[in-house]
Chains A and B, each alone.
Chain A
């Protein structure tokens, strides 16, 4: 198939960006979206034009690197990551608009690449269990009910891609944060630091310039790992409890 691409080009963090139009031919429907961009980049390289920069690594939907806004949808039209989106989801002759994540807490570095280090700093604020290497009891010392283990796992599948933020009109990272709070909060190992965790992570979240949650639900619709909205309820509940406990 042949496609017209409108792509955001921005040379560096301070440069003014703009949309540029490109054309690609003979795209097979078995290609992934990023392989289609590889074709474009080979073509640009031949023509002597700087290839389009975009983040990607595993290309199997698990590392969370890839992050494109495709026709206004984070990761495009399917519930998956950009790298797992295939060209069979598009039609011959289609015009496709490709932009970076848009959020003030994710500044653009170049073209489609943004800086998501704010997520790391939210984790630094408390997204862990404080246990030093070597200090762990036997793994069977504390049984964990299967339902809790399963729930914890399901939300621990978050890949930190940031689609939830990009999709949210408020630029909130509540889904990302709620997933971590729920993951650790469901496990016995996460209990001792539960109150501090939520308070500190939320403070960092706000400090980074992410917006507040107004229950719109765009985040969960865009999330490639289908993290459910109820993690935000859990986040709010944990926050209330922590405040009540004097944090």
Chain B
């Protein structure tokens, strides 16, 4: 690490030790690839110092990419264009269906097309601040820097972004920032960006540089002589267990929000790819950092299988309220007079009002519902919903004005709830939406395992403890198009590595472990479905490791998860066979990994006795009940090493030191 750079903060010294007895302290962790010098030059310098690979050698080099979302799809297309031999995997039937497709709101870029004072530096600043000073400054700066290239690339691919009358690109302001830097395609930005990447990927398939393996699930990482050399995947249509070997492996397998059972993630989103790598030695960083999104359609009953997000842009025009009195909660909201409504965000945060950051909006919604002032149907023992009311906006802009802006969102809401939001206020409730935690990577996006790279939501690197709206799409494409292709070549310049084949003991062992595990899952023959375990895990996580966490709650959760795990492995029921399409078996494998992850998340949350970013620790608040961060103790990345099934996870700390930005406590009052 730099000796020439001057840091604006001191390394933290943790005093508390809440997770004592649940983990083993490990050696400090340093990012050996961390660049130094003036922040604006770091990426340029790194690209220059990275080794080049002779074009003639590239097609002899094999890269496996797990995931075809924005990160994996973009990386596969770009590495294919460069001439590498790429194998691309996804669990869906087509690369185009990766969950990036569902992103609605938009993608940030520091284009400053609006001349409203935006710049790379401002986007960098907003992102570090938004992440509550728990991300690496060099990574974030690079993200802001390449953001502008992303828009150029996408437009050239034919991504139909929204445009103004004059034909230039339109922007909106998003997620409480003061500048308009968000590019969008109606409420379907993720879809349009992903289709762009998908088409670029299919073009490479036609060119013969990329081979796609759809309906394939990665179930194990192959490590040979300390290097990631391949994966074991199951062909989900036939059940065949396949070995794929390469010179480097990229995981771009998305986020693990489904550990909460209910989330805005797609049904198949899972942690298996990254968790299997974790068990093989890759560190899992900040696993407890999850983002809860305030504007989702509330749960309607026990049968619910997933939650639907509505773009946060709705908060630009909708006003959030609940009745002042609990006894009004089952009334028709239109019959509740103005003076009996509590516009609680406007009341508590007069300057930001309904546009406070996601975590604050979410937590306050939970608070008013916990107080018994929630609205909508009873779910369990209370009502989980608050109103998002457009009547003022409709009066101001007309129904047409609202329609032009939110048409598809209003339709979606009506389809799901059966209520017309032009007439009755919408009901919203927070839901798990994104995970900032993920596999630890260095500046080159390489994990601590040589040859294993991690991109997109699957890594931990850019969003600290909280992600700003429209920044995940930016990160996925930055990683996939611009960062990874430039950093992985430094590694591939040393390849091809020693030839290996399926008979290599380490490879054969990896394959056998997958077969054994599948046989185990099928042999338990108990009474409960994988889904029922998943639901139970989700309840535990939401209750104790969700928006608000406390020491006793987390301890209780860890015990409950351990019991659940024991029960899972003795009482699971999976029908069908290993050698055919078997969705119950797929699900069981994923739930098994979620259970292990859930425990680690709770341990991580227990250790971090501070409120920061998206999560709130009951033991760390100001006198006014606001989040209190502890930079003196926790300005570090918590990177967890797998400690074995019988052992404890090992905690490695990477200090977060800043040269270009000064840490401040957030205040939205």
Chain A residues in the interface with B (C-beta under 8 A): 11-12, 28-32, 34-35, 38-39, 42, 45-46, 48-51, 53, 55-65, 78, 80, 84, 86, 88, 109-110, 113, 115-117, 119-120, 123-125, 127-140, 143-146, 149-150, 152-153, 156-157, 159-160, 183-184, 187, 189-190
Contacts and interface: CB of A to CB of B under 8 A. Distances in A.
A65 B93 contact: yes
Interface residues of B, number: 79
A112 B167 CA distance: 45
A184 B158 contact: yes
Contacts of B94: 64, 116-117, 119-120, 160
Contact of B575 (A50, A125, A140, A143): A50
Given A128-B202, A140-B169, A149-B160, A113 B212 contact: no
A138 B305 contact: no
Contact of B576 (A50, A84, A124): A50
30 contacts: A12-B581, A28-B301, A34-B305, A35-B304, A38-B303, A42-B529, A46-B529, A53-B581, A55-B93, A56-B267, A57-B268, A60-B102, A60-B412, A62-B102, A62-B191, A110-B581, A119-B94, A120-B96, A120-B205, A120-B212, A127-B202, A129-B199, A131-B156, A131-B157, A137-B152, A145-B167, A149-B160, A150-B163, A160-B97, A187-B160
Contact of B166 (A57, A136, A143, A187): A143
Nearest to A114: B93
Contacts of A31: 301, 303
Contacts of A150: 160, 163
Given A115-B93, A157-B188, A159-B191, 4 more contacts: A49-B575, A128-B202, A153-B160, A190-B158
B152 A45 contact: no
A125 to B, nearest CB: 7
B206 A133 contact: no
Among B81, B95, B166, B573, max chain A CB count under 10 A is at B81
B243 to A, nearest CB: 22
B531 to A, nearest CB: 7
B376 to A, nearest CB: 11
Contacts of B40: none
B92 A63 contact: yes
Among B74, B165, B580, max chain A CB count under 10 A is at B580
Contacts of B199: 123, 127-129
Contact of A124 (B151, B153, B166, B206): B206
Interface in B410-458: 412, 415-418
Contacts of B191: 62, 157, 159
Give me the 5 closest cross-chain CB pairs, A-B, nearest first: A143-B167, A128-B199, A136-B156, A153-B160, A136-B152
B157 A30 contact: no
A156 to B, nearest CB: 5
Contact of B163 (A80, A146, A160, A190): A146
Contact of A128 (B200, B268, B303, B532): B200
A191 to B, nearest CB: 10
B155 A189 contact: yes
Contact of B192 (A63, A153, A190): A153
Contact of A65 (B77, B97, B581): B97
Contact of B99 (A58, A88, A116, A125): A58
B237 interface: yes
Contact of A59 (B78, B155, B306, B485): B306
B256 interface: no
B214 interface: yes
B283 interface: no
A97 to B, nearest CB: 21
A139 B309 CA distance: 29
B630 interface: no
Given A53-B583, A62-B102, A39 B303 contact: yes
